[in-house]
Amino acid sequence: MPARHVLASLFAASALGASLFAHAENVTLLNVSYDPTRELYQQYNKAFSQWYQKESGDSVSIQQSNGGSGSQSRSVIEGAPADVVTLALAYDIDAIADRNAGVPKDWQKQLPDNSSPYTSTIVFLVRKGNPKGIHDWGDLTKQGVEVITPNPKTSGGARWNFLAAWSWALKQKLGDLGKLHDPRYAEEMKAATAYARDYVRDLFKNASVLDSGARGSTNTFVKNGQGDVLIAWESDALLASEKLDKGNYEIVVPSLSILTEPPVAKVEGNVKRKGEAAEKAADAYLKHLYSPEGQRIIADNYYRPRNTDGIPQQELRLFPKLELVNVDEVFGGWAKAQKTFFADGGVFDQLQQR
């Protein structure tokens, strides 16, 4: 090839590279998340940024905010510039949507599995040897047992804890939770509700510290050495027992717990103001959670993946099978549960006053 043609080809290639580079975007996203997801998103954010740059050419930097899910939801309502929210329960994202704070009303239809790319549940963490003999929910109200759980007014995890405890108490009286909405068992349901109120009241009498978020409660139990039993997200209990201080803690799986489905959503109102590149990156960020890489990172951080293909069995064995109740089936969904139990003047407030 003549020298002038070689030079022309080099100049053309250089110009094409410069053109591609010129069109590459630098995008920053803010993920406002709930308390225990720090390690999960630290790993995921790095992996996503690397994957997305290869796919799109755009450079994405993700900033992370963690706190009690209810508090985080209120911060977005009050103007925190979240591009995506990854919170502990659907009600906290519904609250953002209800106040026209940038999340569409149909946000749960935007992604598979009601926009919940992973699940978890509630278990107990006790100290090595289980010195107080904690085996099920009934043991948490024994005299001399100090319980650590966060505050349901600010923490999504605490609300899951509360409803799991309430469900267990209902079952002690009803035997079959299928009776809940059958009018033939109205009197039994009345007695079961009274029993549940007394049980949960006694449980919170044993709760010495009500931290604002679930991770704060984990730190109170693990780092500060307070309490005999921590009511915890399974992910935080596994983190403590497998990594933070391996060998000094044991997980107790109760006879019944609750299926937790932490959801994710794009805050469209905020992302749109940043432009098309940010919108595409935010969409990809949430969708990639469902990818094989995203699901593997989810399992690595002790959350239950929706898709277990390709995830090592030794990781999956960490997630025991247990009876799980569903918030929709037992409590009529999160909107009703929030109003009944956790709104100002609700059941939790009433129990605290007694």
End-to-end CA distance of the chain: 92
184 contacts 124 by C-beta, under 8 angstroms: no
Taking alpha carbons only, the member of 207, 205, 198, 204 closest to residue 228 is 207
Angle, vertex CA 55, rays to CA 49 and CA 59, nearest 5:
40
CA–CA separation, 11 vs 218, rounded Å? Answer: 59
The per-residue pLDDT for range 61-93, each reduced to its tens digit, is 999 999 989 999 999 999 999 999 999 999 999
pLDDT string in tens for the chain (354-residue length): 444 443 334 334 334 344 444 467 899 999 999 989 999 999 999 999 999 999 999 999 999 999 989 999 999 999 999 999 999 999 999 999 998 778 999 999 999 999 999 999 999 999 999 999 999 999 999 999 999 999 999 899 999 999 999 999 999 999 999 888 889 989 999 999 999 999 999 999 999 889 988 889 999 999 899 999 999 999 999 999 887 767 789 999 999 999 999 999 999 999 999 999 999 999 999 999 999 999 999 999 999 999 999 999 999 999 999 999 999 999 999 999 999 999 999 999 999 886
Q: Is the dihedral of CA 145, 146, 149, 152 positive or negative?
A: positive
Domains and CATH numbers, the chain: 2-117+262-316 (3.40.190.10), 122-259+321-352 (3.40.190.10)
